Structure 1
Amino acid sequence: MKTVRVGGVPEHFNYPWHYAINNGLFAKAGFDVQWSDVTGGSGEMCRMLEKNQTDVALVLTEGIVKHIHTGGTTRIIQQYVKSPLIWGVHSNLHKHFNQSDLSTARIARSRVGSGSHLMAYVHAEQHNYTLTEANFVTVGNISGALEAFEKNSADILLWEKFMTQPHVDNGEVSRIGMCISPWPCFMLVGSSSFIALSAEEIERFAAVILAASKQISNIENTTSEIAKRYRLDPLEVEKWYNGVEWQTTAYVSAKMLNNVVKTLDRVGLLNTIPLPPEELCYVGIKLY
């Protein structure tokens, strides 16, 4: 049995992995999957992949595209979540910002290259204001962001809407708006050593999570299990679940990847020659 180390954020999007692991789906396919929660987000996962600290990770689409353009050796194996991510735009309670102009705000990001970093630039483009790297404060994770808010060393945080809902409900932060990513939110990404495996092994591994994602949609208690695992309000989970769509077939959209590349280039985040979709993905991928 082949051991595969998998990293992902400790969020509800990754429930299919825990379902597959706990129900022996990977084991039946010949894989011993060792899961790690990565609280530092996409920036941290990309570094872990490069340092051979994990074999596979579930990385935000914009995060992996940016990382590969900086010389990263990781590659996309498969789309994982087809639906976009709904980012909440959250404000320090001590400050009063309008989301239409955050050009003077100190914006918390988990890491350089993380979604909380890159999507701030996308939000700026959507609302016609300008950001520079001087706007950002690196905080590590959501706990670091909340601490920065409390110490008044950061003003704004973009983070997944449903995971931050408890912090909004208990009055730690205020939500002043939302930002919907203009592409599917998560990709299944492999390290350079993982994508060097045979195409048969890679496809067999990816097929397990595609099957698990399809199976959970037919199980009645899926939302209650998600609410329990991630300590979320069951009603909020129901709302989120009705809008989320996991990938259940093996392909990656070339048009989508081109859109991500063009957007990141347009907002000034690539600083290199834009790569075509086939150079962002492992060689055996099905591009459409």
Structure 2
Amino acid sequence: MPLRVGYVREHFSSPLLQFAIDDRDQTFTLVECPSGTGQLISRLTNDEIDVAIALTDPLISGIANGSKEYKLIGSYVNTPLNWAVITGVESKYQSIADLEGTPIGISRIGSGSQTMAYVMALQQGWATTDDKLEFRVNNDIRGLIDSVNDGTTSAFMWEWFTTKPFVDAGQARFIGSVPTPWPSWLIAAHRSQERAPAHELRAFLRVLSKYVVEFDAPENRAGPNVEFIKEKFGYRKEDIEAWLKTVAYPNDCARIPEKVIADTLNMLKKAGVVKLSEGHQFDVTTFIDTTVAELT
């Protein structure tokens, strides 16, 4: 039975999409999750997908806050994600500082858009308690853009290049950006191995690593990658080239640096996203499935 692999249809997914095109034995099927990591985690938790390629912070915070339904099995992108801060075309907000105390749009509770709003608040010196930050769920990029233009939210956060076509089309405005203080994408799998046994997950990661390394190669960055992303996503050539200068992928998707988990947990605790009882520490080894991935 093919693995059910959840993903977000963004340029970051290009190596995965190239793998899927060549997967003649149909070892996996793609399950698109347009609402982002919150939707990926929900489907993973509900056993609707076997594997999720999702943002680092919500995956880690979900496990830290008690989820037993999935564990980390790999790495996908080594570089930070540049989250744009976006507001309405005619809104009064001109900078991140103007957003303090206003309702922020998010895709879902527990999504990267919510986690990064906490990080933004922390960087700005705002209080990050639940009574000081107000969130409104708007499901997807279209709902988020509508909310900043009708005034129900002040701003939302989404990946810069994914949002740029909407800004270029005059549907929204950038007022800043907040890069993640951690590598941006990890891979998780549902805890049940009935549908997705460890040897199948290891095989999937082994072949995915091959496509990731090929995508990351200088000769492919210089031409084929640009054409692939342009055809799949319709981005402008100059935007694709600018993004490719900022992104890096791992050599082996089945290896997870211990430092990534520890540093992300530390920042999430500071932002108030992860709760930890006084005097307790997290054991990072409990975050990964050691039958599939290696902690380095």
Matched, 1:222 2:247: no
> How do residues 184-199 of structure 1 correspond to structure 2 at under 5 angstroms?
184-194=183-193, 198-199=197-198
Alpha-carbon distance in structure 1 between the residues aligned to 2:226 and 2:194: 33
TM-score, normalising length: structure 1: 0.92
Alpha-carbon distance in structure 2 between the residues aligned to 1:101 and 1:275: 36
Matched, 1:286 2:290: no
Instruction: Report how far residue 232 of structure 1 moved.
Output: 1.0
Alpha-carbon distance in structure 2 between the residues aligned to 1:197 and 1:167: 38
Structure 1, unaligned runs of 5 or more: none
Instruction: Report how far residue 198 of structure 1 moved.
Output: 4.7
CA deviation string 1:186-240 (max 9, x = no partner): 1011011249855433221111111111122343311111122112111100110
Matched, 1:75 2:74: no
Q: 1:235 aligns with which of 235, 238, 249?
A: 238
- 2:154 alignment counterpart: 155
Which is further off, 244-253 or 125-134? Answer: 125-134
CA RMSD of aligned residues (A): 1.8
**Code of the aligned partner of 2:283:** P
**Code of the aligned partner of 1:79:** S
Alpha-carbon distance in structure 2 between the residues aligned to 1:101 and 1:272: 31
> How do residues 69-218 of structure 1 correspond to structure 2 at under 5 angstroms?
69-72=64-67, 73-93=69-89, 94-133=91-130, 134-194=133-193, 198-216=197-215, 217=217, 218=219
Alpha-carbon distance in structure 2 between the residues aligned to 1:248 and 1:18: 18
Alpha-carbon distance in structure 2 between the residues aligned to 1:195 and 1:141: 32
Matched, 1:251 2:255: yes
Structure 2, unaligned runs of 5 or more: none
Aligned residues: 283
CA deviation string 1:108-133 (max 9, x = no partner): 10001101000111111112122444
Alpha-carbon distance in structure 1 between the residues aligned to 2:198 and 2:148: 46
Q: 1:262 aligns with which of 251, 266, 269?
A: 266
**Code of the aligned partner of 1:269:** V
- 2:41 alignment counterpart: 46
Q: 2:283 aligns with which of 262, 276, 280?
A: 276
Instruction: Report how far residue 276 of structure 1 moved.
Output: 2.1
Q: Secondary structure at the match of 1:66?
A: helix
Change (3 A) 1:33 1:190: same
- Matched-pair contact (CA < 8 Å) for 2:78–2:184: yes
Q: Secondary structure at the match of 1:202?
A: helix
Alpha-carbon distance in structure 2 between the residues aligned to 1:221 and 1:48: 33
**Code of the aligned partner of 2:260:** M
CA deviation string 1:122-177 (max 9, x = no partner): 11111212244451110001011012123211111110000000111122111111
TM-score, normalising length: structure 2: 0.90
